[in-house]
Amino acid sequence: MKTPLNGSGRSVSARTCLLAGLLGLIVGTAPHTFAMEVKGPGLWLSTEKTFLLSEPHKTQLLENLRQITGLNELQFGENGQLQLGPVVESNDGSAAARQVLQRAIESGYVFLIEDHSGSPEVTFGQLDEGTHYEDEHGKRRFLIWRLRLDFDDFRNLEAPRRVRESFSIGFALLHELLHGLGHRDALTIEEVGECEDVINKARLELFLPTRDQYFASQLRITGNFFTYRLKFRDHVRRRDEYLFFMTPPGSVVADITESMVIVRKQPR
């Protein structure tokens, strides 16, 4: 059972501590299969068949991360590990975004990037509860995060071009990495949360609109048919802009507070 997800990409905090022998019971795969993925700290493409990134999705993610960070040589190696290439001070890209990637890589954690496109349980992006892995001999210990991305969700939204650039697959990945690094989401409607505070700094460095709203606003269209809206601030044009997204049929409104909503997709 998944924790209800905010329509704008809320993650689940780390709670689980497991021995390797119990790993398969929790993650639905044999311990030795999971261990094959655990190659060491860093950002890795998942090797699980169900969650492999397709070539188009891998290209989309890389190109977007290059645009955001200015790291033109950023790539996934043949072994699936994200490699930043030379990290130098530059006027291209966002220094704040580069710092997030560097922190994640140097954290000692394992981040496994999974493709959950079309999933009813992942909205834009999600981090799992986290798993403490220890091999049979106790020589290797890792905190493993499964970072889940739904590429389809980013095609099914409406927003001005600059807002779409501010709310992209690359920014979703950075947001989820920040959760693994200990940052939290908003707790009240007056804040955007620690993750988005950092992401907004990166957006400002790229002269992109900043996110002014973490929780989505629910707008009724007809009857029980709703759309959801997030507010952004375009500091260049000095005006508010909005991003709209729909949820699949059967989605559930989990909570409503002062017209702000948390939504979740209908479980399978």
Helix (H, G, I), strand (E, B) or coil at 163: helix
Q: Are 115 and 57 in contact (CB under 8 A)?
A: yes
User: How is residue 217 written in tokens?
Assistant: 């606003």
The pLDDT assigned to 15 comes to 45
CA 28 to chain centre: 22
d(CA 113, CA 110): 10
- Give Cα 167 to chain centroid, integer Å: 11
Mean pLDDT of the chain: 81
Q: What is the crossing angle of helices 55-69 and 169-180, to 10°?
A: 80
| pLDDT above 70: residue 257 | no
Query: What pLDDT sits at residue 229?
Result: 92
pLDDT at residue 31, as a whole number: 39
Percent of the chain with pLDDT over 90: 60
Around Cβ 239, how many Cβ atoms within 10 Å? 10
What whole-number distance in Å separates Cα of residue 46 and Cα of residue 80? Answer: 8
| CA distance to 18, 80, 109, 177, per residue, from 44 (Å) | 21, 5, 11, 12
Assign residue 160 a region: left if phi > 0, alpha if psi is -120 to 50, beta otherwise?
beta
Q: Which of 242, 176, 232 is nearest to 208 (CA)?
A: 232
Can you tell me the mean pLDDT for 78-107? Answer: 91
CA gap 26, 94 in Å, rounded? 37
The two tokens of residue 44 are: 């890795």
CA–CA dist 109, 88 (Å, integer): 23
CA atoms 114, 116, 121, 124: torsion sign = positive
- For 39, residues 6+ apart whose C-beta sits below 8 A from its C-beta are 79, 81
Find the angle CA(101)-CA(197)-CA(204) to the nearest 5 degrees: 80
Q: Is pLDDT at 18 greater than 60 in this prediction?
A: no
- Across residues 74-89, what is the average pLDDT? 89
The amino acid at residue 113 is I
- For the chain, how big is the Rg over CA atoms in Å? 18
Q: Give the residue among 103, 111, 138 at the shortest CA–CA distance from 37.
A: 111
Q: Is the pLDDT of residue 264 over 90?
A: no
Q: What's the whole-model pTM score?
A: 0.82
Structure tokens at 183: 């940052």
DSSP secondary structure letter of residue 6: P
Q: Whose structure tokens read 């709209």?
A: 244
Contact 73, 85 (CB under 8 A): yes
Report the pLDDT value the prediction gives residue 194, as an integer from 0 to 100. Answer: 97
